A and B are shown apart, each in its own frame.
Chain A
Amino acid sequence: GAVVSQHPSRVICKSGTSVKIECRSLDFQATTMFWYRQFPKQSLMLMATSNEGSKATYEQGVEKDKFLINHASLTLSTLTVTSAHPEDSSFYICSARAQGAGGPGTGELFFGEGSRLTVL
Protein backbone atom coordinates (compact mmCIF):
# COMPACT_ATOMS: atom_id res chain seq x y z
CA GLY A 1 0.00 0.00 0.00
CA ALA A 2 0.89 3.65 -0.17
CA VAL A 3 3.26 5.07 2.41
CA VAL A 4 2.98 8.19 4.48
CA SER A 5 6.11 9.18 6.34
CA GLN A 6 5.86 11.31 9.47
CA HIS A 7 8.88 12.84 11.17
CA PRO A 8 10.00 13.09 13.91
CA SER A 9 8.47 10.12 15.69
CA ARG A 10 9.38 11.53 19.10
CA VAL A 11 10.31 15.00 20.22
CA ILE A 12 10.95 16.48 23.62
CA CYS A 13 11.18 20.24 23.93
CA LYS A 14 11.22 22.98 26.50
CA SER A 15 8.17 25.10 27.16
CA GLY A 16 8.04 28.12 24.86
CA THR A 17 9.84 26.58 21.92
CA SER A 18 8.32 25.69 18.56
CA VAL A 19 8.24 22.24 17.07
CA LYS A 20 7.71 21.27 13.44
CA ILE A 21 6.29 17.92 12.36
CA GLU A 22 6.50 16.81 8.74
CA CYS A 23 4.12 14.55 6.87
CA ARG A 24 5.09 13.22 3.45
CA SER A 25 3.25 11.02 0.99
CA LEU A 26 6.05 8.97 -0.50
CA ASP A 27 4.51 7.34 -3.55
CA PHE A 28 1.38 9.30 -4.33
CA GLN A 29 0.21 12.88 -4.53
CA ALA A 30 -2.08 14.06 -1.81
CA THR A 31 -4.15 17.13 -2.46
CA THR A 32 -5.65 16.78 1.00
CA MET A 33 -3.98 15.85 4.26
CA PHE A 34 -5.49 15.70 7.72
CA TRP A 35 -3.89 16.39 11.08
CA TYR A 36 -5.14 14.63 14.18
CA ARG A 37 -4.38 14.72 17.85
CA GLN A 38 -4.85 11.69 20.06
CA PHE A 39 -4.92 11.57 23.84
CA PRO A 40 -4.19 8.31 25.71
CA LYS A 41 -6.92 5.72 25.20
CA GLN A 42 -8.97 8.20 23.17
CA SER A 43 -9.98 8.23 19.54
CA LEU A 44 -8.58 10.61 16.96
CA MET A 45 -9.49 14.27 17.20
CA LEU A 46 -9.38 16.07 13.87
CA MET A 47 -7.46 19.32 14.17
CA ALA A 48 -7.41 20.58 10.60
CA THR A 49 -7.74 19.73 6.94
CA SER A 50 -4.77 20.77 4.87
CA ASN A 51 -5.23 21.49 1.17
CA GLU A 52 -2.27 21.93 -1.15
CA GLY A 53 -1.72 25.54 -2.09
CA SER A 54 -4.39 27.00 0.16
CA LYS A 55 -4.98 27.76 3.81
CA ALA A 56 -5.83 24.94 6.14
CA THR A 57 -9.33 24.55 7.49
CA TYR A 58 -9.28 24.26 11.27
CA GLU A 59 -11.82 22.49 13.41
CA GLN A 60 -13.70 24.43 16.03
CA GLY A 61 -11.65 25.01 19.13
CA VAL A 62 -8.27 24.53 17.43
CA GLU A 63 -6.12 27.66 17.54
CA LYS A 64 -4.77 28.32 14.07
CA ASP A 65 -2.07 30.65 15.38
CA LYS A 66 -0.94 27.95 17.77
CA PHE A 67 -0.94 25.09 15.30
CA LEU A 68 0.44 26.37 12.01
CA ILE A 69 -0.19 24.12 9.04
CA ASN A 70 1.50 24.47 5.69
CA HIS A 71 0.81 22.31 2.65
CA ALA A 72 3.32 23.65 0.18
CA SER A 73 3.40 20.71 -2.22
CA LEU A 74 1.36 17.68 -3.21
CA THR A 75 3.56 15.44 -1.08
CA LEU A 76 4.35 17.50 2.01
CA SER A 77 2.37 19.06 4.83
CA THR A 78 3.85 20.43 8.04
CA LEU A 79 2.40 21.13 11.45
CA THR A 80 4.22 23.62 13.64
CA VAL A 81 3.29 23.81 17.30
CA THR A 82 4.27 27.34 18.26
CA SER A 83 5.31 28.35 21.77
CA ALA A 84 4.60 24.86 23.02
CA HIS A 85 3.36 24.31 26.56
CA PRO A 86 3.00 21.12 28.59
CA GLU A 87 -0.71 20.89 27.73
CA ASP A 88 0.30 20.54 24.07
CA SER A 89 1.98 17.26 24.88
CA SER A 90 0.18 14.65 22.84
CA PHE A 91 0.36 12.19 19.98
CA TYR A 92 -0.05 13.91 16.61
CA ILE A 93 -0.92 11.90 13.51
CA CYS A 94 -1.24 12.94 9.89
CA SER A 95 -3.06 11.22 7.10
CA ALA A 96 -3.19 11.65 3.35
CA ARG A 97 -5.85 10.60 0.92
CA ALA A 98 -4.94 8.98 -2.36
CA GLN A 99 -7.18 10.08 -5.18
CA GLY A 100 -9.88 7.56 -5.94
CA ALA A 101 -11.68 6.71 -9.16
CA GLY A 102 -14.72 8.60 -7.99
CA GLY A 103 -12.84 11.83 -7.36
CA PRO A 104 -10.41 13.35 -4.88
CA GLY A 105 -12.42 12.47 -1.81
CA THR A 106 -13.10 8.86 -2.64
CA GLY A 107 -9.66 7.38 -2.29
CA GLU A 108 -8.04 5.42 0.47
CA LEU A 109 -6.67 7.13 3.57
CA PHE A 110 -3.12 6.41 4.66
CA PHE A 111 -1.64 7.40 7.97
CA GLY A 112 1.78 8.33 9.21
CA GLU A 113 3.29 6.60 12.22
CA GLY A 114 2.55 9.52 14.49
CA SER A 115 4.70 11.95 16.46
CA ARG A 116 4.87 11.88 20.24
CA LEU A 117 5.40 15.42 21.53
CA THR A 118 6.47 15.96 25.12
CA VAL A 119 6.78 19.54 26.35
CA LEU A 120 8.71 19.98 29.58
Chain B
Amino acid sequence: KQEVTQIPAALSVPEGENLVLNCSFTDSAIYNLQWFRQDPGKGLTSLLLIQSSQREQTSGRLNASLDKSSGRSTLYIAASQPGDSATYLCAVSGGSYIPTFGRGTSLIVHP
Protein backbone atom coordinates (compact mmCIF):
# COMPACT_ATOMS: atom_id res chain seq x y z
CA LYS B 1 0.00 0.00 0.00
CA GLN B 2 1.35 3.39 -1.02
CA GLU B 3 2.24 5.74 1.82
CA VAL B 4 3.00 9.41 1.28
CA THR B 5 4.84 11.53 3.81
CA GLN B 6 5.30 15.28 3.71
CA ILE B 7 7.96 17.15 5.62
CA PRO B 8 7.83 19.58 7.29
CA ALA B 9 4.29 19.51 8.62
CA ALA B 10 4.39 23.25 9.18
CA LEU B 11 6.62 26.09 8.12
CA SER B 12 6.66 29.78 9.02
CA VAL B 13 9.05 32.04 7.15
CA PRO B 14 9.58 35.72 6.40
CA GLU B 15 8.68 37.03 3.00
CA GLY B 16 11.33 36.61 0.32
CA GLU B 17 12.79 33.29 1.40
CA ASN B 18 13.24 30.39 -0.98
CA LEU B 19 11.43 27.32 0.31
CA VAL B 20 11.71 23.58 -0.02
CA LEU B 21 8.79 21.28 0.67
CA ASN B 22 9.38 17.55 0.64
CA CYS B 23 7.20 14.62 -0.33
CA SER B 24 8.27 10.98 -0.10
CA PHE B 25 6.45 7.84 -1.17
CA THR B 26 7.03 4.17 -0.51
CA ASP B 27 6.04 2.55 -3.83
CA SER B 28 7.99 3.85 -6.82
CA ALA B 29 5.61 2.29 -9.36
CA ILE B 30 3.70 5.50 -10.00
CA TYR B 31 2.03 7.10 -13.00
CA ASN B 32 2.27 10.65 -11.82
CA LEU B 33 2.74 12.95 -8.86
CA GLN B 34 0.80 16.15 -8.41
CA TRP B 35 1.26 19.13 -6.10
CA PHE B 36 -1.72 21.12 -4.85
CA ARG B 37 -2.38 24.08 -2.63
CA GLN B 38 -5.40 24.40 -0.40
CA ASP B 39 -6.58 27.64 1.13
CA PRO B 40 -8.69 27.43 4.32
CA GLY B 41 -12.24 26.30 3.61
CA LYS B 42 -11.54 25.81 -0.08
CA GLY B 43 -10.95 23.00 -2.50
CA LEU B 44 -7.56 22.06 -3.90
CA THR B 45 -5.85 23.97 -6.67
CA SER B 46 -3.52 22.04 -8.94
CA LEU B 47 -0.03 23.53 -9.05
CA LEU B 48 2.15 21.08 -10.94
CA LEU B 49 1.75 17.61 -12.43
CA ILE B 50 4.81 15.45 -13.03
CA GLN B 51 4.43 12.30 -15.10
CA SER B 52 6.52 9.29 -14.12
CA SER B 53 8.77 9.79 -17.14
CA GLN B 54 9.55 13.39 -16.19
CA ARG B 55 12.15 14.75 -13.80
CA GLU B 56 10.72 18.17 -13.11
CA GLN B 57 8.07 20.74 -13.93
CA THR B 58 8.12 24.49 -13.54
CA SER B 59 5.44 27.13 -13.30
CA GLY B 60 6.42 30.67 -12.43
CA ARG B 61 8.12 30.68 -9.03
CA LEU B 62 7.33 27.01 -8.50
CA ASN B 63 9.53 24.10 -9.46
CA ALA B 64 8.79 20.48 -8.65
CA SER B 65 11.23 17.64 -9.08
CA LEU B 66 10.66 13.91 -9.08
CA ASP B 67 13.09 11.13 -8.28
CA LYS B 68 11.15 7.91 -8.64
CA SER B 69 14.00 5.61 -7.67
CA SER B 70 14.38 7.25 -4.29
CA GLY B 71 10.66 7.88 -3.87
CA ARG B 72 10.97 11.62 -3.47
CA SER B 73 9.58 14.83 -4.83
CA THR B 74 10.48 18.35 -3.88
CA LEU B 75 8.52 21.54 -4.38
CA TYR B 76 10.63 24.67 -4.54
CA ILE B 77 9.01 28.04 -3.99
CA ALA B 78 11.22 30.95 -4.95
CA ALA B 79 10.98 34.37 -3.34
CA SER B 80 8.03 33.50 -1.13
CA GLN B 81 5.18 35.97 -0.69
CA PRO B 82 2.41 36.27 1.91
CA GLY B 83 -0.03 35.13 -0.78
CA ASP B 84 1.77 31.79 -0.85
CA SER B 85 0.43 31.02 2.63
CA ALA B 86 -1.64 27.86 2.34
CA THR B 87 -1.45 24.13 2.87
CA TYR B 88 0.53 22.28 0.20
CA LEU B 89 -0.35 18.68 -0.58
CA CYS B 90 1.27 16.12 -2.79
CA ALA B 91 -0.64 13.23 -4.32
CA VAL B 92 0.82 10.11 -5.91
CA SER B 93 -1.13 8.00 -8.40
CA GLY B 94 -0.15 4.44 -9.19
CA GLY B 95 -1.57 1.26 -10.64
CA SER B 96 -4.92 1.56 -8.91
CA TYR B 97 -5.36 5.08 -10.38
CA ILE B 98 -6.50 6.17 -6.93
CA PRO B 99 -4.39 9.07 -5.67
CA THR B 100 -2.72 8.81 -2.28
CA PHE B 101 -2.29 12.10 -0.47
CA GLY B 102 0.23 13.23 2.07
CA ARG B 103 -0.96 15.10 5.15
CA GLY B 104 0.32 18.38 3.78
CA THR B 105 2.68 21.16 4.74
CA SER B 106 1.07 24.21 6.30
CA LEU B 107 2.96 27.28 5.13
CA ILE B 108 2.80 30.77 6.58
CA VAL B 109 4.75 33.55 4.91
CA HIS B 110 4.73 36.68 7.02
CA PRO B 111 5.49 40.16 5.71
Q: B98, A100: Cβ atoms under 8 Å?
A: no
Most chain A CB neighbours (cut-off 10 Å) among B32, B42, B43, B49: B43
B76 at the interface (CB under 8 A from A): no
Q: B34, A113: Cβ atoms under 8 Å?
A: no
**With a CB–CB cut-off of 8 A, which chain A residues contact B23?**
none
Q: Smallest CB–CB gap between A33 and chain B, Å?
A: 12
Number of interface residues of A (CB under 8 A): 28
Q: Smallest CB–CB gap between B38 and chain A, Å?
A: 9
**Would you list the 10 A-B pairs with minimal beta carbon distance, nearest first?**
A105-B97, A111-B44, A111-B43, A113-B43, A43-B103, A114-B43, A106-B31, A108-B49, A44-B101, A112-B43
Q: B44, A93: Cβ atoms under 8 Å?
A: yes
Contact with B along A95-120 (1 / 0, CB 8 A): 10100101111101111111010000
> Which DSSP category, helix, strand, loop or mixed, fits chain A's interface?
strand
Q: A43, B43: Cβ atoms under 8 Å?
A: no
B107 at the interface (CB under 8 A from A): no
A75 at the interface (CB under 8 A from B): no
**With a CB–CB cut-off of 8 A, which chain A residues contact B102?**
43
Q: Smallest CB–CB gap between B55 and chain A, Å?
A: 16
Q: How far is the CA of A24 from the CA of B24 in the complex (A)?
A: 31
A78 at the interface (CB under 8 A from B): no
Contact with A along B76-103 (1 / 0, CB 8 A): 0000000000000101010011110111
Q: Smallest CB–CB gap between B7 and chain A, Å?
A: 14
Answer whether A106 and B46 are a contact pair too, CB < 8 Å, given A44-B101, A116-B41. Answer: no
Q: How far is the CA of A1 from the CA of B32 in the complex (A)?
A: 17
A91 at the interface (CB under 8 A from B): yes
**With a CB–CB cut-off of 8 A, which chain B residues contact A91?**
41
Q: How far is the CA of A4 from the CA of B42 in the complex (A)?
A: 13
Residues of chain A touching chain B, judged by Cβ–Cβ distance below 8 Å, are 1, 4, 6, 32, 34, 42-44, 46, 49, 91, 93, 95, 97, 100, 102-106, 108-114, 116
**With a CB–CB cut-off of 8 A, which chain B residues contact A110?**
46
Q: B34, A97: Cβ atoms under 8 Å?
A: no
Q: B32, A106: Cβ atoms under 8 Å?
A: yes
Q: A46, B43: Cβ atoms under 8 Å?
A: no
